[in-house]
Structures are given as C-alpha cells and as structure tokens.
Structure 1
Amino acid sequence: MSTLDSIDAIIFSLSRAFCSPFAVFVQIQGCTICLLLALGWLMAAYVRNREVKRIKNSMKAGNSLAFLYQDINELEHSKQLKLPRISVVMPLKGFGEHNLHNWRSQITSLYGGPLEFLFVVESTEDPAYHAVSRLLSMYQDHVEAKVVVAGLSTTCSQKIHNQLIGVEKMHKDTKYVLFLDDDVRLHPGTIGALTTEMEKNPEIFIQTGYPLDLPSGTLGSYCIYEYHMPCSMGFATGGRTFFLWGGCMMMHADDFRQDRYGVASGLRDGGYSDDMTLAALAGAHKRLITSPPVAVFPHPLASDLSFGRYWNYLRKQTFVLESYISKVNWIMNKALFAVHCYLSWGFVAPYLMAVVHITSALRIYIKGYHQLEDTTFASSGMLLVIMLAICTFIELLSMWNLTRREVTLCNMLSPEAPRLSLATYNWGLVFVAMLVDNFLYPISAFRSHFSQSINWSGIRYHLKNGKIFKIERRKDMGPAKTDLGGKHLYGKKGAPQKASFLSSLGRNLAHWRQPKKFDV
C-alpha cells in the first residue's frame, strides 16, 4: 500500500470512528450549542429592536428628541433643575487613536443636571495625563472636569485604585457615581437614561451596559468581537441581569461613602477585577443589577490590533475567574470556568470532525474507492456535516441580526454622529474567529489557573486566595500598547516628550475632526 493509501486508510478509520455513538453525540451537542447561541442572540435582538421601535414611534408622535427622553416633558426647565448630581469617574491608562473621540463623547453629554468628570491617572508621566489635560482646557468654560493623579496602587489593581481615588475626590453632593472605561463612547442621552432608571427604582444597586465591538479588519479584532458576542445576550435583557461590565457602572455614591455591603473595602483589599468583585457582592447581598436597553456603546477596536494582543486580552479575561471574595464566589467562578471550557471545546470539536468527514468523502470520490466493502460511514459523516453547516448558518445569521439591531440602535441614539454600518464586517473572518476563540479559551483559562499571575499594562499582579498580594512594576516586562485600543502606555524614557506628544496629539485631533467610518 502506498504512502497516500496509508493516509487514506487513517482518514477513513477516523471518519468511521467519528460515526460512533459517542462521536455522533459530540457532533449533535455542537449543533445544539450553535442553536442555543442563535436563540440567545435572537432574544437579545428582540429587546434591542423593541427599543428601536419605541424611539421611532415616539418621533412619529412628535418627540424629535426621543433619543434623549421617552417623555419630551422631561426636558422642561423645572424638571431639569431637579435632576441629581452625577460624578463620572474614568480611570485612564495610556493614549491611543480613539481616546479623544471617546472622551469628547463623554464630556459633551446632554444630561441637564449637575455633572462633573474626574479623569484619574496613575501619574503625570502617563501619556493620557497630557492628552486629557489639553482636551479639558478647550472645554474649561463649559464642562466641570478635572484630572486627578492617583499614585501607585499597593493593595489592588491600578484601575480599582484609580476608581476609589476618584470616588474620594467627587463632589460632596453627588448622588450617583458613574464609572466608565476610557474606551467607552457614550451617546448624548446615556447619562440621562441611566439616571432616570436609578430615580425610578431606588432598589437598583448597579446599572450597567455593554460594548458593540467594531472590528478593524484583523483576525485579532474579530476574535474580540466574537468573544464579546455571547456575553452580550446577558446584557440585552432590558432590565434585571446577573452580569456586570466594568466599562459602564452607575452606582449610589453613598454606597461608597458608607462602604455599604463592603463595596469600597472589597475592592480596595486585594481586588483585581472591579466588575467581578461588585457582581459577587451584589449576589451575596441579593442586590439588583439592571441593564437598560439603550446601554449599548460603539467600541471601535484598534486598527493595528494584532493576534498577540488579542491573546493578551483573552488571558486577562480568563484570569478574572481566579479572583474571588468568598467561598461561594470561588465555587461560582470554578463552575463558570468548567462550563465555559467544556462548551468552548464542545463547540470546536464537531468542526474538526467535519474536516475529517469531508476529506474522507473527497478521497472516496477522487480515488474511486466506491468498491470498498463499507463506505456507508462517508454518507453518515456527510449527513452530520450538512447538519452542522445548517446550524452554523443559523447561528451566524442570528449574530448578524443582533449586530444589525445594535448598529441601528446606536445610530438612533447618536443621530449627530457618522453612521455605523455592517458593510465592512467580514463574516468569513467572524466564523474563523469563532473557532479560534473557542479553541484558545480553555488553554488561556488553564494557564491562568496554574500561573496565578498576570501582566496588565506593564504591571504584574500575583494572586493568593483570590486576592492580589503582590504587585510588580517594570516597564521592560510589559507591552508598549494596550490590547484593544492600542494605546501607548509610555512616552520616551518613561514620559512623552513634548515634540512627539504634540505631533501625536495633532494627528489625533485631525482624526477627531474627520473621523473614520466607525468613529462616532
């Protein structure tokens, strides 16, 4: 038998093995996962589309400002005067191509009540410090905003440290504090919509939202998009949810002033992930987390987002499951760890089997092996392949539909911004990203479990019993850019030199005034 025939024999044996009852179960399980994802995205699309219809109907009824308020009477001056004071706290790290757009969308909010912005940086050497200071100087007569230097964290992650320092510096009359990541691009009415819900229901502990990733064209950016999409269905509930995204969290300011439920101490004492810690506290104390249907934010990914930076991001996402604040929280995280890993490889396995089935069928057809005693495995294998292809198509169609609804909603919520479009989405790359991301997730999760340390923007955090106990800082141990936004973490020799910084800022200001297709 020739070498080629030997290879064929191996392929046929594998194809036959993949038609065994257990292998068929694995392939049917993969199809079921596809259909469950499709169902989840269909339900999420229904919630987003319901909000689109509400805005359209309100506009037809004469409320041209429906993207700001459902009831146009809420815009009356007497009612605007009664709005509570909001403090927006934004921990910053680095400076990249989309930051000016994001910061501008935040400080130009159309919220009618008292509003202050606290941009919190680690030190004045952070490139973000100079960039945001220059931006705020342009709006100093129109916006209540300041830059706060937090210093280095010693007991928690730098992001959490910056958030807590921001809370300490907020106005004494602040009723609600809104934590935003610096890559969040707000709609004009976002702060007003979140505040309205908090006022309607004082039982709300945290309000949150979720980003709509806008891939830049690289495989890494599509992997990020695919990673976030299954999570997005947990935020498209139009109300109560058990999920929390640290990029957008509105909370009662007094919860921090009085350290209710241990929100401040729980974050400060070894906290690594702000959203996972607060979600655990909400669950432990049976507090309400909600996600309004308008809380979806365009999130353009860096144009040079490489696969390596995607991997770094995935590592940080899986690492959060290693942090916990209680035994119950530890059990929940480990259960999530196990389920996610099982489903990820359960999703990928049928596609690997499908490759074998297709190769086997092609070899039988090309080499004329029809005379073999048993080729029924080939037809059985192709039947499984066809079933998987149909389920995959349904899944991708549902993902496309949800993305389309969210793009439409974002366009309606920011009518003054350049239109978002699905035209540049490459759905072939989306499919590849689905396989790559689900294959790599368990590998990343297991690596996080056994390493118990992570490098986050040049800072290495070490965990012990679910909390940070050691922090290492060395500029030579981390990347020069952040993962998603491609933000420069350091200037030359640790701080941005004036010439290079002004040049970079000038380019970004030009980019700001003439945004790209995805910039809003």
Structure 2
Amino acid sequence: METMSPFDSLDAVIISASRAFCTPLAIFIQIQQHDHVSDLSLLFVLQGCFICLTLAFGWACAAYVRSREIRQMKNSMRGGNSFAFLSHDINDLEHSTQVKLPSVTVVMPLKGFGEHNLHNWRSQITSLYGGPLEFLFVVESTEDPAYHAVNRLLADYKDDVDAKIIVAGLSTTCSQKIHNQLIGVDRMHKDTKYVLFLDDDVRLHPGSIGALTAEMEKNPEIFIQTGYPLDLPSGSLGSYCIYEYHMMHADDFRNDRHGVVSKLQDGGYSDDMTLAAIAGAHKRLITSPPVAVFPHPLASDLSFSRYWNYLRKQTFVLESYATKVNWIMNRALFSFHCYLSWGFVAPYLMAVVHVAAALRVRSKGYSLEDTNFTSCGLLLASCLAMCTFIELLSMWNLTRIEVRLCNLLSPEAPPLSLATYNWCLVFIAMLVDNFLYPISAFRSHFSQSINWSGIRYHLKDGKISKIDRSKGKGPKFTDLGGKHLYGKKGAPHRASILGALSRSLAHWRQAKKFDA
C-alpha cells in the first residue's frame, strides 16, 4: 500500500484550502476590501466595488482639499504675499486687524521628556499669532522631567512670550491628562476667548493658531475644531504601526456648557471621546480645517511593546462612555472596526495560500481540476496585489501632499521629506496593526484597565473608578515619543535628562543654521 509523505499531505491541505478560498463566500471576503469582478457572485463584487470606491473617494477628497490649500498659498505668494503661510490675504496681517484678534490660551498637559520635546515646544511658543496669547504648561509634579526642561526653555523666552508652568497635582477622579487640562483651563486669563488643547509631542506651524482662530471667528457655531498629526516614522517597524488637538470656546468651560467640565471630571478617561459624545448628544459642530496637519515625530527607539501599549490605549477608549447612547456608539465602533480589521487581513492570508498551492501544483503536476482552482486563486491573488499597489499609491500621494503642505506652512523649519518612509514597512505595519486591533480591543474589553504613562486606570460603568500609581515599577518611557517618565528616582538621572536637552538644543540650532 502506497503511503503519503508529509509533503504530499501538506500539498493536499494547501490545495484544499485554495479550493475553499475560491468559493463565492471566500471570494466575497477577499474582494470586500478591493476592486475585483467575478462572474461567480456579481452582488458580492458590487458590494466590494462600492466599499473600495467609497474609500478611494474619501482619500481623493482629502488629497484634493489639501492640494487646493497649497494652490491658494502659491497663488497668494505669486501675488506678492510672502506671508501666505500665515494668511492668504495679506491685509489680515495689518496692525489694525491684528490688534482686534481675540485672546487665546494654549494648554499643554505634559508628561516626561524625550528627544523631540524641545523642538516641539519651541515651535509652539514661537507662534506668529498677532493677538493676545498665553501658554500654560501643566505637569503633575515638580518631579516630572518635563518640569525642569520647560523651566529652562521658558527662561530663554521670558521677555518674549507669556508662558508659565503649572503644577496640577495628582488626579483622583479622572485621567491625569484631563486633570491637567482642567487645571489649565481654571488658570487661564479671564479675557481668553478660545482655548487650544495641545499635546506636547506635536509641532505647530507659525500660523496654526491664527488659522484655527480665524475659523472659529468665521463660524461661532463651531463647538470643537480639531487637527491631526502627520506621523514621521523613525525607521523601525514599530514606528510604522502608528497610524489630537482641539480648540474650543473658553466660555464653554467657564459655564460648564453641556456639562463639559463635569463630564470630563467625573471619571473621564479620554478627552476626545468624551467631548465627541457631548457634541453628538447636543448636535454641536466639529470641524477640521485643511491646514490643521501637524508634524508628529516618533521615537527613534520605538519598540513593539511600547507600540502594543499604545494600541491598547487606543482601543481602551471604546470602553469609556458618559451616556447610554455613547455606550451604544462605542459598541458599534468596536464591532465595525474589528470586522473591517480582520476583513482587511484575511485576503492576504488567502492569497499566500493561493500562491503556495499554485507553486506546488506547477512543480508536482497535479490534475487539471486542481490546476483550474489554483488558476482562480492566482487571479484573486493578482487582483489583490494590484489593489494593494493602488492603496499604497493613494496613501503615498496623500502623504506627499501633506508633507508639501507642512513645508509651506513652516518655511523656516527643517523640511520634511518622504525619504523617511519605507513603504514596504508601511504595508507590513498595515497588516500588523489591523491584525492586532481586534485582539487589543477584546483585551481592553475584558481587562477594563490600562497603564497610561506609568499610571494604571480601572474602569467601572465606563468611568474611571480606581487609579493605581506605582512609580518606578511600571514603564519608564512613554509609548510613541519615548519620553522619560521619571526624574531622579526610578529612571534616568538628572544628568541624562540635561544631556538629552543639550543634544536636542544643539540639533535644533544646527538645523536652523543650515536653513539660514
């Protein structure tokens, strides 16, 4: 009796899997993320085409809006406006107009100090906004490495900017970030009209605050005006797996309008999700101007463990909620995102099986029936490869336009470049991120706790119910920025912090020298 070798058994499994993946249901799974036509299931193809075209239309719209902004800036520059990066209309920069600008307070909750912070903070406090402007750097305690770094920085600009550092103390009813933000709002100037909450790991353009304020002035109905980061990979795979900032009316916080302060203070974990829920419940407007794209450099030593904790924080926000409607929306987002994530990854796993089966059939000379199935599989894999190329091309085009926009908005800053992007790693990161997202989401759902910058938060009924602080025993660095979380105890010594500060300062000055 003839026995079957292990390789023959493996071939049989691969070919059977390839045959199964060529069924109408499997074809539907494979085409729902990409554009492909199959006579076997026209309905499934139409649905797949609709999803693909919808995504393509969204990317095209985003690229078009930012390209239009670039064209407007260049037209203004050709018309003699050398300050188009501040305003398209040079008359807006007249002194008579600038003195009428509203007062703005920038609140920055800080935690730790890393390689990019000094450059980021300088870009923020050297804004060219012409109206009254104050900066409030808010830290948990004087032991935070950011406290001494900011003090040294502000000492260099004490006569040029209105900035101060505030010690907020420990949070007890909400996340430390929200606590710092609310303390900053409580200490802002009494004449402040708009408050801009800004993360400390993002770089501002000279005209960003002016552009955001102008939009708020044009449309008083805006509740939140937000922007998005342009992540700048450092070269490691982890930095490619990372795929917030908002301005609001100061009176909304002074008067606790819609319960903005009370809902954030009462067990709030994520400021973004809480404010978005409030906006949805009260039919308030959230907008994002095309110029609100801010460079966000990632740590050069970003590890997978730090990326995983970052992803856990992103999925954990879906476990926090303020109302029953908010809970329902979060559950819907949870289900929808998990479905799409694994729906994106599954076709690539199927394509690997199809290619493996085709290679084995060609090398072993199997039957015509098996050859037909593998031909169908190769056709699907080829379409998947083509659609993947189109996806990456679309992503490259949008990133290219955003890089150009950022360079125009910050003409004196070191220019950004697409050279830092490795698109093979981008593709791998897309697969890794989408594969891990549902795992992280389920982990967050069942654990109901998360470690955020050395603080462990526990949720109950969507709100923070318990806060554990174990200084020196948790992570010593933040996730994306790689910032040192502790000062003299439990982590880097003061000398290393000052050394990092000096190196960052030297690097920044060298870049400015070459720009000049």
Alignment TM class, shorter chain as reference = over 0.9
Match of 2:318 in 1: 321
The reply to whether residue 104 of structure 1 matches residue 122 of structure 2 is yes
From 266, 269, 279, the counterpart of 1:282: 279
- Residue 376 of structure 2 corresponds to 380
- Residues 311 and 5 from structure 1, CA distance in 2 versus in 1: closer, same or farther, beyond 3 angstroms? same
Q: Secondary structure at the match of 1:62?
A: coil
Give the 5 Å matches for 1:237-256: 247-256=244-253
Would the aligned equivalents of 1:463 and 1:470 in 2 still touch at CA under 8 Å?
yes
Partner of 1:307: 304
Structure 2 residue matching 1:475: 3-state secondary structure: coil
1:7-65 Cα shifts (integer Å, max 9, x gaps): 11111111111111211111111324555433322221111111001101111111111
Contact 2:472 2:489 in 1 (8 A): no
Question: Among the aligned pairs, what percent are the same residue?
Answer: 80
Verify: 1:484 aligned to 2:484, yes or no.
no
Aligned to 1:209, what secondary structure does the other structure show?
strand
TM-score (normalizing by structure 1): 0.93
By relative contact order (CA 8 Å, sep 6+), the higher-ranking structure is 1
1:461 equivalent among 457, 460, 464: 457
Deviation at 1:308, TM superposition (A): 1.3
The answer to whether 1:341 aligns with 2:344 is no
Q: Does 1:178 align with 2:196?
A: yes
Q: Which residue among 290, 293, 302 is the counterpart of 1:296?
A: 293
Q: Distance in 2 between matches of 1:15 and 1:255?
A: 59
Moved more, 15-24 or 99-108: 15-24
1:138 aligns with 2:163: no
Q: 2:7 is matched by which residue type in structure 1?
A: L
1:10-89 to structure 2, matched below 5 A, reads 10-31=13-34, 32=48, 36-89=54-107
Residue 434 (structure 2) pairs with residue 438 (structure 1): yes
Q: 2:210 aligns with which of 192, 216, 221?
A: 192
Residue 239 (structure 1) aligns with: none
Q: Aligned to 2:106, what secondary structure does the other structure show?
A: strand
Offset from partner CA, 1:350-371 (integer Å, 9 cap, x none): 10000000000011112232x4
CA distance in 2, matches of 1:202, 1:24: 49
CA shift digits 1:255-311 (9 cap, x unpaired):
101100111111001000001000100111111111011000011111001111111
The one-letter amino acid of 1:456's match is W
Distance in 1, matches of 2:499 and 2:434, equals: 40
CA distance in 1, matches of 2:473, 2:324: 33
Aligned to 2:185: 167
State yes or no: 1:505 paired with 2:505.
no
Shift of 1:373: 4.7
SS of match in other structure, 1:299: strand
Looking at structure 2, the residues matched to 158 and 29 of structure 1 have their Cα atoms a distance apart, in angstroms, of 41
Kept after mapping to 1: 8 A contact 2:195/2:249? yes
| Structure 1 residues 485 and 87, CA gap change in structure 2 (3 angstroms) | same
- Do the aligned residues in 2 keep the contact of 1:82 with 1:113 (CA within 8 Å)? yes
Other structure's SS at 1:492 match:
coil
Unaligned runs of 5+ in 1: 228-246
Deviation at 1:515, TM superposition (A): 4.4
* Alpha-carbon distance between aligned partners in 1 of 2:393 and 2:54, rounded to the nearest angstrom: 13
Deviating more after overlay: 500-509 vs 138-147 = 500-509
Q: 2:135 aligns with which of 117, 121, 133?
A: 117
Structure 2 residue aligned with 1:357: 354
Q: State the match for 1:8 in structure 2.
A: 11
Q: d(CA) in 2 for partners of 1:423 and 1:35? A: 29
Identify unmatched segments of 5+ residues in structure 2. Answer: 35-47
1:64-108: CA deviation from partner (whole Å, max 9, x where unpaired) = 111101211111111111111111000000000000010000000
1:351-409 Cα distance to aligned partner (Å, 9 max, x none): 0000000000011112232x455421000101111111111111111000000000000
1:298 is matched by which residue type in structure 2? P
- Relative to the length of structure 2, the TM-score reads 0.94
Q: Distance in 1 between matches of 2:420 and 2:496?
A: 32
CA contact (8 A) 2:488 2:494 kept: no
Give the conservation status (yes or no) of the 8 Å contact 2:138–2:167: yes
SS at match of 1:376: helix
Deviation (angstroms), 1:499: 3.1
Instruction: Check conservation: 2:198, 2:245, Cα contact below 8 A.
Output: yes
Aligned to 1:235: none
CA distance change for structure 1 residues 471 and 372 in 2, over 3 Å: closer, same or farther?
same
The residue type paired with residue 341 of structure 2 is: S
Aligned residue for 1:212, secondary structure, equals strand
Question: In structure 2, how many angstroms separate the alpha carbons of the residues matched to 1:168 and 1:374?
Answer: 72
One-letter amino acid of the counterpart of residue 353, structure 2: V
1:406-437 deviation per Cα after TM superposition (whole angstroms, max 9, x unaligned): 00000000011111111231111111111111
The 5-angstrom pairing of residues 414-433 of structure 1 reads 414-433=410-429
The DSSP-based 3-state class of the residue aligned with 1:375 is: helix
Aligned CA distance change for structure 1 residues 5 and 477 (closer, same or farther; 3 Å): same
Q: Label 1:379 to 1:497 Cα distance change in 2 as closer, same or farther (>3 A).
A: closer
SS of match in other structure, 2:134: strand
Deviates more, 1:139-148 or 1:68-77: 68-77
Counterpart code for 1:208: T
For residue 261 of structure 1, give the secondary structure of its aligned residue in structure 2: helix
1:317 maps to amino acid: Q
- The 8 Å contact of residues 194 and 248 in structure 2, kept in 1 or not, is answered as yes
After superposition, the C-alpha distances for 1:135-166 in whole angstroms (9 at most, x for unaligned) are 00000000000000000000000000000000
- The Cα offsets for residues 435-471 of structure 1, whole Å up to 9 and x where unpaired, read as 1110000000000000101000110001111100100
**Aligned counterparts of 1:499 and 1:480: Cα–Cα separation in 2:** 16
Task: Verify the 8 A CA contact 1:214 1:301 in the aligned structure 2.
Answer: yes
Q: Aligned partners of 2:235, 2:56: CA distance in 1, in Å? A: 24
1:446 alignment partner AA: F
Inter-CA distance 427–495: structure 2 relative to 1 (3 Å threshold): closer
Taking the aligned partners of 1:72 and 1:323, their CA distance within structure 2 comes to: 45
RMSD: 1.5
Q: Which residue of 2 aligns with 1:331?
A: 328
Deviation at 1:512, TM superposition (A): 2.2
In the alignment, is the contact (CA less than 8 A) between 1:125 and 1:496 conserved in 2? no
